[in-house]
Structure 1
Amino acid sequence: MTTISSGSAVLRTIDDLRGPAGRLEALLNTGSSDAPYAALVCHPHPLGGGTMHNKVVYHAMKALQSFGLPVLRFNFRGIGLSEGSHDGHEERSDVQAALDWLEREYHLPILFAGFSFGAAMGLQACCGDERVKGLIALGLPVQAEGRDYHYRFLPSCPQPKLFISGARDQYGPQLRVEDVVHSAKQPAELVWIDDADHFFVGKLDQVQLAIRNWVQMHFLPARVS
């Protein structure tokens, strides 16, 4: 394990996260000692160059860490130093392994965020998992590079859900994304980022703000004195 300090933030490499395909390369941005939740963030499609160092993933991590939450990121199987080979479906098991690690490490309720492919895999893995209290899907893909994504499980997905998409997302046209969100079990909120593409280029500050506002509203209500 390697630990790097930067002011009050600490970044740790994780050596003991293992999924069904073997070791998963992972990073943990540590949180405060009284954090009420732990968080997991998953990266976009490996065939498009997606890794845990993706800019959208990083900004989602920063938004969650701003509340003092510990945030885990990892590379899906076959990516970076993660063992195994890319599958396209079994990555949901990697998400489950990451949830198991967070539970063992922190014994806290978990918030999930995923970008694109990471959102698709994470929603499948997390929906109905009682450890996961909230779900954030960034750039939810509907059709990308010949790959179709289906979300037939969302009508029975009980947790609060936030969907953040760019109004010009080439992999998630507005009408298609709205159909998916409208099919989801409530509560489900959809935030459109004006003039943003799939990768939220130039709009990542707005993504962070949307995440922080939603987390604050649903999971960290102001204390009444």
Structure 2
Amino acid sequence: MRLPIDDSREIEILAPENPDPGQPLLILAHGAGNDMHSGFMETIAGHLTENRVSVVRFNFPYFTAGRKMPDRGPVLEEAWRAVIRWTQENCDYSQLFIGGKSMGGRVAATVGREFEDVRGVVFLGYPLHPPGKFEHRRDEYLNMLRKPMLFIQGTRDPFARMDLLQDVLSDIREFARLEWVEGGDHSFKVLVRQGVHYPEVLKNVALEVADWTKQLSNKM
């Protein structure tokens, strides 16, 4: 379905027909270069569903309109607000989580603190800095979020040097949990010599997310 966010923009939402009110629900946003139907998003969502986590996916306005260039920050943030409100009004769940791949997760961090109902935020490859530009850190919203956060990060990710990400998260260790994908890049693809197939990597990533959401749900 499509949901307008203003007079000229809309988002496309993909949601389960009858989400189980006893299950956690994760709103999962795509990254800058691929939409909610990418292989990565389909695979992660499928494994989460198998592990009893309901998933709502959506396309930001630029992808809904058929464009490749991401919208400006305020538009991305308003899209996130709109899909959170829609989910609150139209879906059943035990606890609500938000997050996404790369840009989708980063923007989730900017709006997550506005919603008391949001239990935690998931980051699948947090884009801490542009490749090679280590001084340009995108971490200001993490310190203000004050909610449980799960970071799953590849050790070869050019968008987050390992020591820099660990340093940033050390300041919010009360809220942040970091899990590494050994040898993984920005999409968790690993080197052939590691002998691990990519589908298995994504399955394990989804299981990590599912276990984390359930652990937090059980603490309520």
Same fold by TM-score greater than 0.5: yes
Are residues 171 and 39 of structure 1, via their aligned partners in 2, closer, same or farther at CA, if it must alter by over 3 Å? Answer: same
- 1:106-132 CA-to-partner distances (Å, cap 9, x unmatched) read 264411121101111111111342021
Verify the 8 A CA contact 2:23 2:54 in the aligned structure 1.
no
Counterpart in the other structure of 2:194: none
Tell me how far apart the structure 2 counterparts of residues 33 and 205 of structure 1 sit (CA, whole Å): 22
Among 24, 31, 56, the residue aligned to 1:72: 56
Equivalent residue letter for 1:139: G
Equivalent residue letter for 1:92: E
Unmatched runs of 5 consecutive residues or more in structure 2: 190-197
Among 110, 113, 117, the residue aligned to 1:131: 117
- 1:204-219, aligned counterparts within 5 Å? 204-219=202-217
Among 90, 105, 115, the residue aligned to 2:101: 115
Counterpart in the other structure of 1:191: 179
**Partner-residue secondary structure (3-state), 1:169:** coil
Equivalent residue letter for 1:216: K
Verify the 8 A CA contact 1:170 1:197 in the aligned structure 2.
yes
Tell me how far apart the structure 2 counterparts of residues 31 and 188 of structure 1 sit (CA, whole Å): 31
Higher strand content, 1 or 2: 1
**Partner-residue secondary structure (3-state), 1:25:** strand
Are residues 106 and 28 of structure 1, via their aligned partners in 2, closer, same or farther at CA, if it must alter by over 3 Å? Answer: closer
**Partner-residue secondary structure (3-state), 1:96:** helix
Are 1:34 and 2:21 an aligned pair?
A: yes
Verify the 8 A CA contact 2:155 2:184 in the aligned structure 1.
yes
Equivalent residue letter for 2:85: D
Unmatched runs of 5 consecutive residues or more in structure 1: 1-13
The structure, 1 or 2, with the larger RCO (C-alpha pairs under 8 Å, 6+ apart) is 2
**Partner-residue secondary structure (3-state), 1:29:** coil
Verify the 8 A CA contact 1:110 1:131 in the aligned structure 2.
yes
Are residues 33 and 119 of structure 1, via their aligned partners in 2, closer, same or farther at CA, if it must alter by over 3 Å? Answer: closer
Verify the 8 A CA contact 1:38 1:102 in the aligned structure 2.
no
Counterpart in the other structure of 2:140: 152
Counterpart in the other structure of 2:10: 23
- 1:158-196 CA-to-partner distances (Å, cap 9, x unmatched) read 211100000111111111211222232622100001011
Counterpart in the other structure of 1:86: 70
Aligned length: 204
Are 1:95 and 2:80 an aligned pair?
A: yes
Tell me how far apart the structure 2 counterparts of residues 184 and 82 of structure 1 sit (CA, whole Å): 38
Are residues 158 and 215 of structure 1, via their aligned partners in 2, closer, same or farther at CA, if it must alter by over 3 Å? Answer: same
Tell me how far apart the structure 2 counterparts of residues 182 and 44 of structure 1 sit (CA, whole Å): 25
Equivalent residue letter for 2:217: F
Structure 1 residue 64: deviation in Å?
A: 3.4
Higher helix content, 1 or 2: 2
**Partner-residue secondary structure (3-state), 2:216:** helix
Structure 1 residue 29: deviation in Å?
A: 3.0
Structure 1 residue 146: deviation in Å?
A: 8.4
Structure 1 residue 104: deviation in Å?
A: 1.1
